[in-house]
Structure 1
Amino acid sequence: MSSKTERNDRRSGKKPAFGNRPEGPRDKGQKSAPQGFGGRDDAPRPPRAPDRSKSDADNFLWGRHPVLAALANPARRGTGRLLATAERAAEIEEGKLANGHKIEVVEVQALTRMLPPGAVHQGLAFKVQPLEGVSLEELADPAQGIIVMLDQLTDPQNVGAIFRSALAFGARGIIVQDRHAPALAGALVKAAVGATERLPHARVTNLSRALERLA
């Protein structure tokens, strides 16, 4: 049977714990440990690309149907920047659909870079301010059909689909809130397939008060 001293000697032969490296010079071929948390060095990072998802979405319409509907809207005459691929530009010129707007022909890749990631532009984009809403009184005539009111709906594609459906069912307009509704541009207009150009909308601060005024 081994003595207590022998057992202690065997224990003393254990490898040193992690982090307790012996002092002394390193071998030339041994790499230095990376500096900083997670092994990352202090080299400067390249600048991040600007986030185009919000600012450009508020100023661009894209897609064939939304852009052509905007060009046909008299309220849009003389405003905006119309961008199109050569094929779409020829289509607009042949059909005389520009309505006084000058067509700026661009490459597909250049047009894609101007828009938010994932935008399906179909070779057409229109940089223009969102449409202004009408007054509540302009929607007050009950003989003109139903009014759709949206209470804190913030998803652009859902709101765009409601615009499309409301137009198809003969609504006279849509009422949205000032602070809790997306801009009528970008993905919303794409989902609406041109309905935002033909169906008037009003923006109000308080839906309850708007209902009282319409009663």
Structure 2
Amino acid sequence: MTLLIKRSLVEQAVDQLRQRIANGAWAVGQRLPTEPELATELGISRNTVREAMRVLAFSGLVEVRQGDGSYLRTAVDPLQAVQALSRCNLEQARETRHILEAEAIGLAALRRTDEDLQGLREALAHSSEHFHADLERYVSCDLIFHQRLVDAAHNPALSELYRYFSGVVAATVHHNLSQAPRCQMVFDLHGQILDAIEQRDSDKAKALSRTLINES
């Protein structure tokens, strides 16, 4: 019973904080009041505030900086976008990946740094280790590789969009790999994409990416 009451208090605190954000109580990028200050303002315990802030951080509204405090990341609740993404079907997910991921990878080929390449190689090596093993672990590693591909475009908006979309990508990959045997030729496309990015061949990187999206 205690757990139910505690959860209810946290939900109420989350709702109050969401409402304040929606009403413009704080500007984007502004440091939020401390946990004790919010606890006093809302008339709740510090533990409840802490749990509520974790929820807001998970949903993308708030950024918690260790040792520095919490900052408002956006005034637009990303939860609504995540909920919309979760309702798309496999074909819609594929279309979105073509528009978002393939184009971002084309930019990555033009903008990537040596540090990006190193991170991509490491992520691909981890994926390779798990490709024929546990599916959950492989999908998790594969997602890191794809996020780093998009991040190599050095466009924060694209990176952020892909982070919200990554749950749909993971579900799609998991569904497809659980329906059919894993194909080494399809996995090898990841390495070919990385080679094209290293060679700064944008057109080739995009073409390979589209092939991978259609096959995965």
TM-score, structure 1 length as denominator?
Answer: 0.28
Between Structure 1 and Structure 2, the one with more strand by share is: 1
Structure 2 length-normalised TM? 0.28
Larger Rg: 1
Q: Which has the higher helix share?
A: 2
